[in-house]
Amino acid sequence: VTAKFDWARFTSIADRITGEFVQRTDAMAEHVDASILFSDGLCMCALCEMFEVDQVIEVGTGYGGSTEMFGRYFSGHSRVRRIWSIDDAVNPRWQWLLAVTHIRRYSRYVWSTEKRAKEIAHARLAAFSNITLMHGDGFDKLPPLVRRLAGEGQRIGLLIDGPKGELQLRLVEQAFALSPLVAFAALDDIGPMYDAEQRHARFMASGRAVFATSDPQYFDRYRSINRGRLPGRMLKNTAHRGYGLGVMVNAERHAAATGAA
């Protein structure tokens, strides 16, 4: 954890909200494949509380596991008014057209489109009045949404779980530069197991990185909330070997604009 981040304050908030987070997500008994861990969802909610954000924007809805965690935790009682989630997965019927026309880069549609992630996410999240699903590329959809919400004076927290590696960092930097009201970003799959792609090293070198949920300091403290709700790939591992959220803060700009943490 870097010195510029108030770890003691963060953990006191995460400790305080753990019970409510677990209770509110309890109905989601199983871990959803391809989703962030429940302990990662807790991290995101604690960051939202710490930075007093009004809006959450997620890039990468997938099956909607993370979106549902936030929809449940932030329902009714909270300062976070809305969770926006952007994904460019398409209905499989359109897949052939995209492949034939090369209108868009095809590769990233493959698993989420083929597995009907869009339909699954829409069905499971339909009942949440505090969630808005948006279709499109995060690079197209995120900047105008940030501009609009920040223009209304809303404080924003980001989860970037679509583009990875260089693109993921670039999208965060773009969003941070758009407004000081973008308080923080959590980047999924930043754990050290990805060092083959130097994701972790690049994240740490970015200058805005503060910690990752795969760090033992975080994971060992909150791992118990996953209980049996871990993905199959992790059931035998005692450590969080990767897939963690990397947390970056827009600290100086945000503090200057809001007087906040």
State the nearest-atom distance from the C-beta of 211 to ligand SAM, in Å: 19
State the nearest-atom distance from the C-beta of 158 to ligand SAM, in Å: 12
Describe the strand order of the beta sheet including 209-212 as a list of residue ranges: 131-135, 82-87, 55-59, 156-160, 182-187, 246-249, 209-212
State the nearest-atom distance from the C-beta of 216 to ligand SAM, in Å: 22
Please report whether residue 89 would count as binding ligand SAM according to CB under 6 A: yes
- Closest CB to ligand SAM among 66 and 254? 66
Gap between the Cα atoms of 182 and 175, Å rounded: 7
SS3 category, 131: strand
Please report whether residue 18 would count as binding ligand SAM according to CB under 6 A: no
Please report whether residue 108 would count as binding ligand SAM according to CB under 6 A: yes
Among the listed residues 14, 117, 127, 113, the one whose alpha carbon sits nearest the alpha carbon of residue 61: 117
Among the listed residues 200, 188, 199, the one whose alpha carbon sits nearest the alpha carbon of residue 243: 188
Please report whether residue 71 would count as binding ligand SAM according to CB under 6 A: no
Do the bridges between strand 156-160 and strand 55-59 make them parallel or antiparallel, or are there none, so unpaired? parallel
Chosen residue from 87, 168, 169, 225 binding ligand SAM by CB under 6 A: 87
Name residues contacting ligand SAM, limited to 138-197 (CB under 6 A).
138-139, 161-163
Please report whether residue 35 would count as binding ligand SAM according to CB under 6 A: yes
SS3 category, 46: helix
C-alpha distances in Å from residue 251, one per residue of 18, 23, 212: 25, 31, 16
In the shown chain, the binding pattern of residues 232 to 261 toward ligand SAM, with x for contact by CB under 6 A and - for none, equals ------------------------------
Chosen residue from 56, 65, 218, 261 binding ligand SAM by CB under 6 A: 65
Amino acid at 136: G
Gap between the Cα atoms of 244 and 188, Å rounded: 6
- Closest CB to ligand SAM among 47 and 261? 47
State the nearest-atom distance from the C-beta of 63 to ligand SAM, in Å: 6
- Chain residues that interact with ligand SAM, rule: CB under 6 A: 32, 34-36, 59-63, 65-66, 86-89, 108, 112, 117, 137-139, 161-163
